[in-house]
Amino acid sequence: MQALVDAARRKESVLVAGLDPIPSRFPEELRALPEAEATLKFCLDILEAVEPYVAAVKLQAAFFERLGPAGMGIYADLIGAARDLGLPAIADVKRGDIGPVAAAYAEAHLGLYGATSVTVNPYMGEDAVLPFLEEARRRSQGGGVFVLVATSNPSSREVQETTDPPLFEIITKLVAGLGRQSGDYPDAGAVVGATRPEIGGRIRELLPEALFLSPGYGAQGGAVSTIRPLLDRRDGGVLVNSSRTILYAYERSAAGYKEAAREAAREAREELRLAGARL
């Protein structure tokens, strides 16, 4: 995870900008273009606009997959463009399969497409996580794996919290058992939604050293107050993702989409910095 940590320290920012390109929300001036072209231009513009204020970018693979093979070409181009700007890319793929299948996904996203880190779904257990960790270790690019533990959406509770012990505890222990120290954090991190602070606090107790990736900041209701319980004892350990609040900031602004996104990223980074969050 050291590539993320180094970038966060250099930028004094724990903010991750999520690229969720949704063509129906693109600004007017891009809507005349073909979807693939508009997606590439929009994302490149956003990358440049937010670069000064973010530690990394997270690409939501579904929005590229939706565009077919050409969309995966754009996904590759954007990971490359982020790298050129000094931004490590987190491939938000949430893949969850086993053995050679998981290894093929890991090879695709951490190898061929060149993301530094990846999100992984643990429903199939350790077999679903290890091949990604092994690929990240082989690549030695300072990356790692963020395992879904407690996600930010409402219906996840039914699955992740209602059993005894709660599923999120089982997955938390799985993450603790699989990670290896690599720089300042273990290479197995956790996705812990910013919308569930009480659960997040318990996960932090069980994983005192791990790096969390925390979605749900902004649009989904996460805020500085809901991030605080997730921090480790040095106010560290959390990367905060914001996607649509940054990308579509222009919808609530008189500014153009680039300036609006830049300003939204600057504000979120500042809010988190003033709250003391850092890596």
Query: At closest approach, how far in Å is the CB of 68 from a copy of itself?
Result: 5
256-272: string of b/e by CB count within 10 Å (b at 16+)? ebbebbbbbbbbbbebb
**What are the DSSP calls for 127-159, one per residue?**
HHHHHHHHHHHHHTSS--EEEEEE-SSTTHHHH
How far is it, in rounded angstroms, from Cα 16 to Cα 91?
Answer: 12
CB of 59 to a copy of itself, least distance (A): 12
* Cα separation values, 100 from 17, 19, 105, 129, 130, Å: 31, 28, 9, 12, 11
Structure tokens at 273: 């910095």
Among 6, 12, 97, 184, binds a copy of itself (CB under 8 A): 97
Q: What does the radius of gyration of the chain's CA atoms come to, in whole angstroms?
A: 18
CA distance 35 to 22: 9
Question: Is 70 near a copy of itself (CB under 8 A)?
Answer: yes
Interface region with a copy of itself, contact rule CB under 8 A, candidates 41-49, 148-156, 205-213, 252-260? 148-156
Query: Considering only residues 100-119, where is the footprint of a copy of itself by CB under 8 A?
Result: 100-102, 104-105, 107-108, 112-113
Contacting a copy of itself within 183-242 (CB under 8 A): none
Residues 231-270 touching a copy of itself, rule: CB under 8 A, are none
- Could you tell me the smallest distance in angstroms from the CB atom of residue 143 to a copy of itself? 18
Q: Is 66 in the site for a copy of itself (CB under 8 A)?
A: yes
185-186 and 181-182 strand pairing:
antiparallel
> Whose Cβ is closer to a copy of itself: residue 153's or residue 225's?
153
Active site residue 94: yes
The residue within the footprint of a copy of itself, chosen from 41, 83, 94, 278 (CB under 8 A), is 94
Nearest of 36, 46, 103, 48 to residue 76 by alpha carbon: 36
Q: Which of 11, 41, 58, 94 is catalytic?
A: 94
For the bound state, the minimum distance from the C-beta of residue 145 to a copy of itself, rounded and expressed in Å, comes to 15
CA distances from 261 to 27, 139, 190, 201 (A): 12, 32, 27, 30
Q: Which of residues 115-144 bind a copy of itself (CB under 8 A)?
A: 121-128
Residue of the chain from 28, 140, 158, 274 that contacts a copy of itself (CB under 8 A): 158
Catalytically active residues are 94
By CB under 8 A, name the binding residues for a copy of itself.
20, 22, 60, 62-63, 65-66, 68-70, 72-73, 76, 94-102, 104-105, 107-108, 112-113, 121-128, 148, 151, 153-160, 162-167, 170-171, 174
